[in-house]
Structure 1
Amino acid sequence: MDDYQAVRELLPAPPLSPEVERAGRERLAAAFAHERVRRGRRAARWSAFGLVLAGAAAAAIAIAPTAPPRAPATSGTVAQADGKRFLLVAAESVASMPDEGAWWGRTEVNGRQFHEPGGRYVLRESESVETWIPADPEGRSWYRQTPQGTKPATPQDEAAWRVDGSPTSWTYDKTSETGHSGAVRAEPGEQSTWSTEDWDFRILTAGKPLTKMSEMPDTPEGLKALFDADDRTTIDTAARLLFFAPVTSETRAAAYRLLASAPGVTTVGQVSDALGRAGQAIEYESGEFAPPNYAGATRTRLVIDPLSGRPLSIETRAVADGLLLTYTAIQDSRWADDNPLKENE
């Protein structure tokens, strides 16, 4: 892993507040009400947000496939918006989030899934990572990593694991697509805490290091010009920025709007993410977040809570069978004046 990849994997995502969630719910409800009127009149226009995407981009969103409505998974879940419209709702919600503080902190769960050596069931290996990045570019960044061990991925996999004798370790050879060589063990590893002073990058997008958050554009057009890349790389970079970078709320909203107009992005509908949380999802073809030794084609899924504007998880799935390969799920993120990891050193 190079330094740039390490920075990308350790960058954080946005905070959530009750006020923002309520505002997002009101905007989403208004959008659905407007959409019902639009369908009755058969008019081709956007909702009352005033977020207009011109020309071919608007046409592409209008014809994006829509999954059939599903029953809400939780009392706070709203039915799916047409096409990628929920990304525009999320953009409006996230734009009002606070983005000031001495530290940007988050807790995420990183995981990957793979078949046991005999291919009879799927295992999930995961770890929790807490990150605190200083607003001061001269400050040190702090991390706490807690390996959570390996276990069967689903109840069905657990049943097959029990039939297999409930093993607590599995041995792989060097050709395995899991990326493991040798034994994989069930028990959690030791927790570790450390700090680094390698934040000269501060933000890294499309291979371009920037020195402070205010250097990031706050419009979709500005971000696209900054990335200066093909469609797939642009989508990957927007996803990294949206989920991981400590940018301003307006820049994060611009990333949502960029994804809404990007070709090659399709809607999945309402789903549960890797941690079982309800959200809306989009997918696109990409190998950016796939395991390094995985040879097959993959698709990247972004799961979003449009009511709050909070990104929930990035998931990489195999095209062949839909198997979840890797994921990063954001459990919590916020700006704060204190860093608990530094205080406990």
Structure 2
Amino acid sequence: MADELELLRRANPVPSGDPRFGDGPLGHEAERRLSRLVGPTADERPKPGGFLLGRSSLGRLLRGPRPRRTRLAWALATTAAVAVTSLALLLAGPSTVPAVAAPRPLVVRADSTPVPLDRLAERAGVAAAESSPGLRKGTHVQSWSMGMSEDEPPITLPVERVVRWNADDSHTELVVATDPRHPGRPVLSEGDGDSALVDDGHVISEQTFPPSWSDAPPESPPPHDAKRLRAYLQDAQHSDTPLTTFELLDVTRLLLNTWTLGPREDAALARLLADAEGLRPVGQVTDRLGRRGQAYVYDAIGARQMLIMDPVTGAVLGLEITVMTAEPEYGLKVGDVMDYSAWMR
């Protein structure tokens, strides 16, 4: 830990003893950079329901399970996530191969027939009626998340996260470097100066957290009817207004990073997604874990979100975000996979 802290201190452009460090106002350049970091400026702000791919996206895409906090705290959390990613880039060194494990976008089978979400929600309801409750707190997720920097090419961070909760409400989180497309092949680089390959399955972090007695979403159990689940997800998203389709997909990621749903919760979520505006069926795909699923696409400003669902049970298998507008400043090309999550049971 001491080495990491020292790296962060050296990366800090304004040390604590610097005369510029204090409670005085930020300079114009610092104010501009802070505004770009925590959110889009007025002329960059997307239209309602849209998505701006850029500076503040990374913290939202890489974060795992999150507790309930104020909006100011979320701005600070986003800043911290960007700092961690910058540190990862620093550790990678100049010889790191960019996007070592960057996946290609999932491809819809040309000969497949799209299944309307309404029909899939009906199937999920039937599956729920024939199954026993299976809701469990905790998650097992494989994710590929792109880290961006103004000075380095984008790199993809492929990790597998397993979160398990104990009877006393404490929980453990294990994060390992892995890429199931190439088992046993090194997927990450690290080191100071000369980069060194890290073997597939290398433990990035292993933590135990003390008991949490929060009763606020997403810590509290999700309901298994669509109306109450809608209110639950709105609360988890800290929103005072009905969720847009983009927000619904975003909070679905949060829900599945906290809970492994049972058939009844799958059915309720499928019904909510079926009612979402702009989420259209496109056909059948095979996800990155080799599972067959039905794909549903939502196009937003700058990005496309693809939701992959089990064709029989209606369970969410994965969620992919691909770049639809190039951003040369960050080395992003149209079709790049910005983020992908695949949930396992």
Give me the TM-score of the superposition, normalised by structure 2. Answer: 0.51
For the 8 Å contact 1:95–1:252, the answer to whether it is kept is no
Determine the structure 2 residue equivalent to 1:111.
144
Matched, 1:81 2:115: yes
Determine which of 129, 133, 153 is the counterpart of 1:99: 133
Determine the structure 2 residue equivalent to 1:142.
172
- Quote the Cα distance in structure 2 between the aligned partners of 1:93 and 1:238: 20
Deviations 1:149-184 (A, max 9, x none): 7x9x99xxxxxxxxxxxx98699xxxxxxxxx9997
Determine the structure 2 residue equivalent to 1:127.
159
Deviations 1:182-241 (A, max 9, x none): 997642343543211253336634xxxx5x42xx44322233344243323244324543
Determine which of 214, 217, 224 is the counterpart of 1:204: 217
Determine which of 308, 329, 336 is the counterpart of 2:342: 329
- Quote the Cα distance in structure 2 between the aligned partners of 1:277 and 1:260: 21
Deviations 1:27-83 (A, max 9, x none): xxxxxxxxxxxxxxxxxxxxxxxxxxxxxxxxxxxxxxxx88626xxxxxxx54246
CA positional deviation for 1:285: 4.3
For the 8 Å contact 1:111–1:126, the answer to whether it is kept is yes
For the 8 Å contact 1:131–1:142, the answer to whether it is kept is yes
CA positional deviation for 1:146: 1.4
- Quote the Cα distance in structure 2 between the aligned partners of 1:92 and 1:183: 56
Higher relative contact order (CA 8 A, sep 6+): 1
Letter in 2 for 1:229: P
Matched, 1:230 2:243: yes
Matched, 1:218 2:224: yes
Higher mean displacement: 223-232 or 322-331: 223-232
Report the 3-state secondary structure (helix = DSSP H, G, I; strand = E; otherwise coil) of the residue aligned with 2:115: coil
CA positional deviation for 1:318: 1.0
- Quote the Cα distance in structure 1 between the aligned partners of 2:141 and 2:280: 25
- Quote the Cα distance in structure 1 between the aligned partners of 2:110 and 2:120: 14
Determine which of 248, 257, 275 is the counterpart of 2:289: 275
Determine the structure 2 residue equivalent to 1:161.
none
For the 8 Å contact 2:138–2:258, the answer to whether it is kept is no
CA positional deviation for 1:97: 4.2
Letter in 2 for 1:257: R
Determine which of 305, 320, 340 is the counterpart of 1:315: 320
Letter in 2 for 1:112: S
Report the 3-state secondary structure (helix = DSSP H, G, I; strand = E; otherwise coil) of the residue aligned with 1:258: helix
Matched, 1:299 2:312: no
Determine the structure 2 residue equivalent to 1:59.
none
Report the 3-state secondary structure (helix = DSSP H, G, I; strand = E; otherwise coil) of the residue aligned with 1:274: coil
Deviations 1:265-290 (A, max 9, x none): 1222111223343211112246xxxx
Letter in 2 for 1:220: A
Distance 1:261 1:127, change over 3 A: same
Determine the structure 1 residue equivalent to 2:65.
7
Compute the RMSD of aligned alpha carbons: 4.4
Determine which of 103, 124, 128 is the counterpart of 1:90: 124
Matched, 1:70 2:111: yes
CA positional deviation for 1:319: 1.7
Distance 1:245 1:187, change over 3 A: same
Higher mean displacement: 232-241 or 124-133: 232-241
Structure 2, unmatched stretches of 5+, are 1-58, 68-107, 235-240, 326-333
Determine the structure 2 residue equivalent to 1:187.
198
Report the 3-state secondary structure (helix = DSSP H, G, I; strand = E; otherwise coil) of the residue aligned with 1:7: coil
CA positional deviation for 1:304: 0.9
For the 8 Å contact 2:318–2:342, the answer to whether it is kept is yes
- Quote the Cα distance in structure 1 between the aligned partners of 2:131 and 2:171: 23
Give me the TM-score of the superposition, normalised by structure 1. Answer: 0.51
The residue correspondences of 1:36-75 to structure 2 (distance < 5 A) are 70=111
Larger fraction in strand:
1
Identity across aligned pairs (percent)?
20
